[in-house]
Chain A
């Protein structure tokens, strides 16, 4: 027998309260009687005892039974009918690596899963599912219980954040489609409600935790060669904490800081003047619940000089960018673009042109032809006025838009979702978006040539724009589960995962989706290595104080007569009512007597 609403069983703890009225009644009515002469000595002895003799009448036991049955009925007891086919859905998100008394939550979940399998018997059929990166059947096959127990033991949690799954809908659909007798979801999220087919098994308790929520390595300025790092530490607990944060690179500690982080707050540590290393790792020295988020990785910006590939039918307009210190520019004609090796560029500028396929590098589109994928262009407007702009935004800082007057513009008609950065009365002039983790900016006016002080507002916008692309390239890490995009792979290129797995890259491929673990991913291109830092998306995973509950309602709408659970609470309720009826008649009525209490 099990309970669909086990929280109600805490009501059993309240049953001793039933004694209270009887103990209160122990203060007996005071009755004046003619004489105590005939009341015997044993009674006097009883009276001398501190609490007298507690005699519980039979009605007490009837009431106790009545309340017990009511509490049990509220617990919604059900008899499990042995299921033949079940699904076990294991939450393998990053928070399942949380330690619970030397064991991870995932290990506890494995134990619970094995318990479910043991109850199932030898003839049961089991489908195992993992929740991340998406709800998917393990190996795509159905297992026997013995085999499933072995498979469960071999599973491990990933560093991925929780997938946005509507468990109510998804699992009910799964149960219906696959005709499961029961679906067990084993997770670290609490469940609100239960259903007879879907049973949520929660492992772990709310815990305090510290986490590094961001870590960036960047140049101190667009043209500077010095590197600086910024790490942010969050305290997901109810107490202030003093944390030591250590920066490692090249196999040793290169810097450390002491941080005081208030309860529920964040604190930042800055590391300036960092020597150049292929990658950096920052770690907090805290013995907390989730060790995974105590580390974070970052790689420095792709190159010391910002490399730009310009694709333009009028390349001389772009060549003015070379006057900006720290910027190197290669120019190609649009027809030569496909033949060009675009590896190592921090930005591709499509000037009056557009690629046939989305580039792997960040890209700026200046008045692109109408066949570009991001925005259509309206009729030209001479000397447009910028009527509104996004503020604050890295692209619009330090600019006096009253003086910002491009020669002409063509207002944009965005075709994809993104941010409108600048807007004129005729329509948007600048539109930013991000595709596959790569920044894209479309402009409805021509920035070039770069005129420096001669056209200060537009020049400042150009510098902001380059800085924005620098920030978006390389230095900002990726999150687990987000595909890596890189320059087109050549034959013999391979990728090395943080776990040391060597994955050969298909020639021509530019994406690697299986970033399931935190760490440094390296693409070996023979002559050089390209590094990517991948960290967990710990917006929800690190805060272990109050996990989001999973709302479950009754899913028993399968339409067939079979029910995995046989509810007995209606019978208990009926029995309780019967007892209440009996109690109503059995309860002794107060006797009307002249010897009333005085």
Chain B
């Protein structure tokens, strides 16, 4: 049983999409993504001199007629895609509640997984949380595996702190094939932390996309004016805080600055970045925002 947003109509729309990669990867099977290797696709890649034993069907007879030399036309190989979707499963994703933040994040992940699966590509899900055990799924292929994807993502509840670089390194240690990496997180962490994590992904020659998920309550906290005791959901650190209009404005300024730092870093690093505020409809985000940043072809 698929969750509520995944209606047949929504799934049909997802099937029309394909992930866009800006890098070429070595696939395992024939697919629809270009590979650095030469192959048999329709996309011309290069010429090379004829060697005995080459398939005569690929001789460029035009060149032979003009230059009396034999050249073979080379075509790109098209392979399948390995997509890695990383979902932040730390305690901050359960704040204010898992239904308001973590669930929308998994819905995005599921939607992107379905896009990959529908193209007969491979998708592997990683839940970045406290425990590394059972935090990565096997590769799924074929659209019927979407239920496995969703089952996997709902198998774990978000909890504990997240040290992005460390956790990411653990996950990447087991990674063998390059491909497309999509990181879904609230990115409510110091800049150094997320930059280290993203740099690790870059080091693995992955084509990276980042989706920042925030709730409306985090964008504009509805605290009543007065004194508050704020507790960090991950570290349990506690501070007293005087909340008023000035503090609200100060907080929002900080958040804007923080988000623009993430966007700026992603831009400089060739990473797709998008912000999803969870009160936005999922299909609007998937079919309008993500294509706009070039995530889909």
Which residues of A come within 8 Å of B, CB atoms? 25-26, 28-40, 43-44, 46-48, 52-53, 55, 57, 588, 590-591, 593-595, 598
Contact = CB atoms under 8 A, between A and B. Distances in A.
B188 A55 contact: no
Given A31-B229, A593-B223, A594-B96, A39 B242 contact: no
A81 B242 CA distance: 51
Contact of A594 (B100, B226, B233): B100
Contacts of A30: 229, 231, 238
Nearest to A40: B250
Contacts of A594: 96-97, 100, 217
Interface stretch (B11-19, B121-129, B251-259): B251-259
Nearest to B96: A594
A28 B255 contact: no
A34 B241 contact: no
B97 A29 contact: no
A52 B240 contact: yes
B217 A593 contact: yes
Given A37-B258, A52-B227, A595 B217 contact: yes
B250 A595 contact: no
A37 B244 CA distance: 18
Given A37-B188, A47-B241, A31 B231 contact: yes
B161 to A, nearest CB: 10
Interface in B225-281: 225-235, 237-242, 244, 247, 250-251, 254-255, 258
A43 B250 CA distance: 10
A591 B243 CA distance: 13
Nearest to B217: A594
Contacts of A57: 225-226
Chain A interface mostly: loop
A565 B217 CA distance: 60
A338 to B, nearest CB: 100
B120 to A, nearest CB: 37
A38 B95 contact: no
Given A33-B231, A36-B232, A595-B217, 11 more contacts: A32-B232, A33-B95, A34-B96, A39-B230, A40-B251, A46-B240, A47-B240, A55-B244, A57-B226, A593-B223, A595-B223
B218 A44 contact: no
A25 B227 contact: yes
B169 interface: no
A48 B254 CA distance: 21
A34 B233 contact: yes
A31 B239 contact: no
Which one of B233, B237, B240, B258 has the highest number of Cβ atoms from chain A below 10 Å of its Cβ? B240
Nearest to A28: B227
Contacts of B238: 30
Interface string B144-167: 000000000000000000000000
A438 B261 CA distance: 113
Contacts of A29: 228-229
Contact of A38 (B222, B227, B255): B255
Nearest to B240: A47
Interface of B: 92, 95-97, 100-101, 186, 188-190, 217-218, 221-235, 237-242, 244, 247, 250-251, 254-255, 258
Contacts of A36: 230, 232, 235, 237, 239
Nearest to B99: A594
5 contacts: A34-B218, A37-B190, A40-B247, A52-B240, A55-B226
A28 B233 contact: no
Contacts of B251: 38-40
B242 A34 contact: no
B254 A38 contact: yes
Which 5 pairs across A and B sit closest by C-beta, in order of nearness? A47-B240, A28-B227, A594-B96, A35-B188, A34-B92
Which one of A29, A34, A36, A37 has the highest number of Cβ atoms from chain B below 10 Å of its Cβ? A34
Contacts of B250: 40
Contact of B186 (A34, A43, A588): A34
A593 B251 CA distance: 17
Contact of B242 (A37, A55, A593, A595): A55
Which one of A29, A35, A38, A591 has the highest number of Cβ atoms from chain B below 10 Å of its Cβ? A35
Contacts of B97: 594
B227 A26 contact: yes
B216 to A, nearest CB: 10
A29 B188 CA distance: 23
Given A26-B227, A46-B241, A595-B217, A33 B222 contact: no
A34 B255 CA distance: 13
Given A37-B188, A37-B189, A40-B254, A28 B222 contact: no
B227 A33 contact: no
B196 to A, nearest CB: 16
Given A33-B233, A46-B240, A595 B96 contact: yes
A38 B231 contact: no
B278 to A, nearest CB: 11
B58 to A, nearest CB: 58
Contact of B224 (A37, A40, A48, A590): A590
A38 B229 contact: no
A26 B226 CA distance: 8
Nearest to B251: A38
A46 B230 CA distance: 13
Contacts of B222: 591, 593, 595
Given A28-B229, A598-B231, A47 B95 contact: no
B251 to A, nearest CB: 6
A21 to B, nearest CB: 12
A39 B96 contact: no
A28 B230 CA distance: 9
Contacts of B254: 38, 40
Contacts of A35: 92, 186, 188-189, 232-234
Which one of B224, B229, B230 has the highest number of Cβ atoms from chain A below 10 Å of its Cβ? B230
A32 B233 contact: yes
Contacts of B231: 30-33, 598
A26 B254 CA distance: 26
Nearest to A46: B242
Contacts of B227: 25-26, 28, 52, 55
A571 to B, nearest CB: 34
B239 A39 contact: yes
Which one of A30, A32, A33 has the highest number of Cβ atoms from chain B below 10 Å of its Cβ? A33
Contacts of B228: 28-29, 31
Which one of B100, B101, B186, B239 has the highest number of Cβ atoms from chain A below 10 Å of its Cβ? B239
A35 B239 CA distance: 11
Contacts of A40: 247, 250-251, 254
Contacts of B96: 34, 593-595
Contact of B188 (A31, A34, A44): A34
Contacts of B258: 37-38
Contacts of A46: 240-242
Contacts of A47: 239-241
Nearest to B254: A38
A32 B238 CA distance: 9
Contact of B225 (A26, A44, A52, A588): A588
Contact of A39 (B100, B190, B241): B241
Contact of B240 (A28, A34, A37, A591): A28
Which one of A25, A30, A36, A48 has the highest number of Cβ atoms from chain B below 10 Å of its Cβ? A36
A26 B227 CA distance: 6
A588 B233 contact: no
A314 B258 CA distance: 133
Nearest to A597: B229
Contacts of B235: 36
A25 B226 contact: yes
Contacts of B218: 34
Contacts of A48: 240
Given A37-B190, A39-B230, A595-B217, A32 B95 contact: yes
Contacts of A33: 95, 221, 230-233
